[in-house]
Amino acid sequence: MSTDVIVVGAGPVGLLLAAELRLAGAAPMVLERLASPSGRRKARGVGPLAFEALQRRGLGERLAAHQPQLSAEKTKDHGSAKGHFAWIHKIEPSWQEEPDRRGALIWQPDLEAVLAEYAASLDVPVYREHTVVAIVQDDQGVTATVRTPAGEQQVRAACLVGCDGGRSTVRGLCGFGFPGTPPLMTARQARVEINGAERLPPSGRTPTGMLLHGPGVIGTFDFADGSEDRHGPLTREELQTSVRRVTGIDVTITRLSDALRFTDNARQAATYRQGRILLAGDAAHVHSPNGGQGLGLGLLDAANLGWKLAAHVRGEAPAGLLDSYPAERHPVAAAVLHNTRAQSALMRPGPHTDALRDIVSDLMDIREVNQYFGRMLSGLSTRYAFPYLPADAHPLNGRHCPDLRITVTTDGRRRTARLSDFTRAGRAVLLAPADSPALTAAAGWRDRLEVVEGTTVDEHGLSGVLVRPDGAVAWATASSSPADADPLRTALRTWFGPSS
């Protein structure tokens, strides 16, 4: 078998990456170890940037349909409708600088089903029970050895991307370094039937960790445990033991489902690219789920990499395009690891941490501080440093573009639309008024652009914006001066090559 790109892993990141590759004109093939999706209810949602990335491909409504039920469920489980930092639930949605940019609540298996359907609609081949066990790269391509029910096969491709999760085989086989910090705690959670729950203290901190429980659910953050096997499935006995360690109280769990064990191990691949092999998602970075950031991070890796890798394998990529993937995405994940480590430090048991938590909690009552935490956990502070931009460039440059409301004029008729109405095909979008010098400047790139003649309704005083396929703003201006056409041309050349 041969293809342009082998994507290892049909988790959410692998599925989105394969779809993005396909949209951008490459031929991907997804190889997945499992016979069917695991159904593990890990993530309960994604942040605003990942939601917008999926909305750009027309999947927003599918995600939003899950919101009402999960919103009520999450509020019940967390005891608060506010966001949290280190389980200090004080992040006030209505206080945030861009309160309309919200994430979506959806259980990970439901999101994976949406993405699998989306990939199938683009004819992306997904081979299940195909486990990658060896990888060799040479000057011409990559050969993966794959274990299948019919025996071992070799698959050949120009490039291979490991989207195979936190214990990535690709990362291990190809010798990517994975430095970081070992866990401070082990967390366990499950839906349960339980005897003795009435004897437990209320949810909250204990001398050895944290207990969370409500009708039919229980979870522990266990800082006193460093010994047990973290590879096998979580059992009733192990959860009971952890509840005892965290609270000093014996309960009997009679039924257990949706059981998960995880840690705050925080590690990141030293590089995301070795020649023809790349990493994305949990294969590239692992950290505690506090703040609900990992899946969103991985989906944005996929969005960032897809169009660049497609251009690379098609031989159309300008110099440095593929290397801009690690250059842009590595620092973003490093910042997430940093904030999850801070959260773990703030969750350590003991009176010193109690005192620090009180101070952080008080600080979060200050609006600007609250916004600082909100910006950090939502990812909305992400800004790529594009070297061609002048120091006084419009503040939207390098950020992910919100789903702008725009007025478009087609055949002399004005109508209101959204940016996401023009992004389904996965191309870059240039939005500018009909008489703008930007449209003339971009004439030589029209074959690679969706050109939208229109104006933004209410956002950022924009008169023109170039949005890359991954949503990053490559050029934005508030003026309509012909001088702005030069940075626009530079942006177009940087991302899409010379004009035709």
Of 132, 243, 431, 432, the residue at the interface with ligand FAD (CB under 6 A) is 132
367-378 and 324-347 are packed helices; what angle lies between their axes, rounded to 10 degrees? 130
Q: Following DSSP, what letter does each residue of 206-241 receive, concatenated?
A: ETTEEEEEETTEEEEEETT---S-SSSPP-HHHHHH
**13 φ, ψ (degrees, to nearest 5):** -70, -45
| 272 contact partners, CB below 8 Å, separation of at least 6 | 278, 279, 280, 284, 301, 325, 326, 329, 330
One character per residue 315-334, x = contact with ligand FAD (rule: CB under 6 A) = --------------------
Decide if residue 10 touches ligand FAD (CB under 6 A).
Answer: yes
447-476: which residues touch ligand FAD (CB under 6 A)? none
Of 60, 294, 326, 398, the residue at the interface with ligand FAD (CB under 6 A) is 294
Span from 31-39, 205-213, 318-326, 452-460 in contact with ligand FAD (CB under 6 A): 31-39
Of 108, 247, 340, 420, the residue at the interface with ligand FAD (CB under 6 A) is 108
248-277: which residues touch ligand FAD (CB under 6 A)? 260, 262
Considering beta carbons, is residue 298 or 402 the nearer one to ligand FAD? Answer: 298
Closest CA to 240 of 209, 197, 210: 197
The answer to whether 32 and 170 are in contact (CB under 8 A) is: no
Helix, strand and coil content of the chain, in percent to the nearest 5, comes to 35, 25, 40
Decide if residue 45 touches ligand FAD (CB under 6 A).
Answer: yes
Closest CA to 287 of 224, 226, 338: 338
Decide if residue 131 touches ligand FAD (CB under 6 A).
Answer: yes
Span from 119-127, 158-166, 194-202, 211-219 in contact with ligand FAD (CB under 6 A): 158-166
One character per residue 400-429, x = contact with ligand FAD (rule: CB under 6 A) = ------------------------------
Considering beta carbons, is residue 149 or 351 the nearer one to ligand FAD? Answer: 149
> What is the size of the binding site for ligand FAD (CB under 6 A)?
34
Of 5, 6, 7, 8, the residue at the interface with ligand FAD (CB under 6 A) is 8
Quick one: which H or E segment has residue 350? none
Decide if residue 397 touches ligand FAD (CB under 6 A).
Answer: no
d(CA 218, CA 194): 9
The answer to whether 468 and 474 are in contact (CB under 8 A) is: yes
Span from 10-18, 66-74, 267-275, 308-316 in contact with ligand FAD (CB under 6 A): 10-18
d(CA 74, CA 90): 15
Minimal distance, residue 112 CB to ligand FAD, in Å: 8
Decide if residue 46 touches ligand FAD (CB under 6 A).
Answer: yes
Minimal distance, residue 290 CB to ligand FAD, in Å: 9
Token pair for residue 117? 């359907």
Decide if residue 221 touches ligand FAD (CB under 6 A).
Answer: no
Span from 41-49, 203-211, 223-231, 240-248 in contact with ligand FAD (CB under 6 A): 41-49
Decide if residue 349 touches ligand FAD (CB under 6 A).
Answer: no
Q: Following DSSP, what letter does each residue of 437-499 receive, concatenated?
A: HHHHHTGGGGGGEEEEEEEESSSTT-SEEEE-TTSBEEEEES---GGGHHHHHHHHHHHH-S-
Considering beta carbons, is residue 10 or 311 the nearer one to ligand FAD? Answer: 10
Of 22, 33, 84, 448, the residue at the interface with ligand FAD (CB under 6 A) is 33
Dmax (CA) of the chain:
74
The β-bridge partners of 266 are 181
Of 292, 326, 349, 469, the residue at the interface with ligand FAD (CB under 6 A) is 292
| 415 contact partners, CB below 8 Å, separation of at least 6 | 407, 408
Decide if residue 28 touches ligand FAD (CB under 6 A).
Answer: no
What count of other Cβ atoms lies within 10 Å of the Cβ of residue 2?
Answer: 13
Considering beta carbons, is residue 128 or 418 the nearer one to ligand FAD? Answer: 128
- CA-based Rg of the chain, rounded to a whole angstrom? 24
One character per residue 160-199, x = contact with ligand FAD (rule: CB under 6 A) = ---xxx---x------------------------------
Coil, strand or helix: which one is 322? coil
Considering beta carbons, is residue 217 or 363 the nearer one to ligand FAD? Answer: 217
Considering beta carbons, is residue 43 or 321 the nearer one to ligand FAD? Answer: 43
Token pair for residue 438? 């930007």
Considering beta carbons, is residue 10 or 438 the nearer one to ligand FAD? Answer: 10
Minimal distance, residue 169 CB to ligand FAD, in Å: 4
Taking CA atoms, 368 is separated from 57, 97, 102, 212, in Å, by 33, 9, 18, 29
Closest CA to 345 of 14, 83, 59, 86: 86
Minimal distance, residue 415 CB to ligand FAD, in Å: 35
Minimal distance, residue 459 CB to ligand FAD, in Å: 26
Residue nearest to ligand FAD as judged by C-beta position: 11
Span from 4-12, 190-198, 456-464, 481-489 in contact with ligand FAD (CB under 6 A): 4-12
Coil, strand or helix: which one is 92? coil
Closest CA to 451 of 471, 467, 472, 474: 467
Residues that bind ligand FAD (CB under 6 A): 8-14, 31-34, 42-46, 108, 131-132, 163-165, 169, 260, 262, 281-282, 289, 292-296, 298
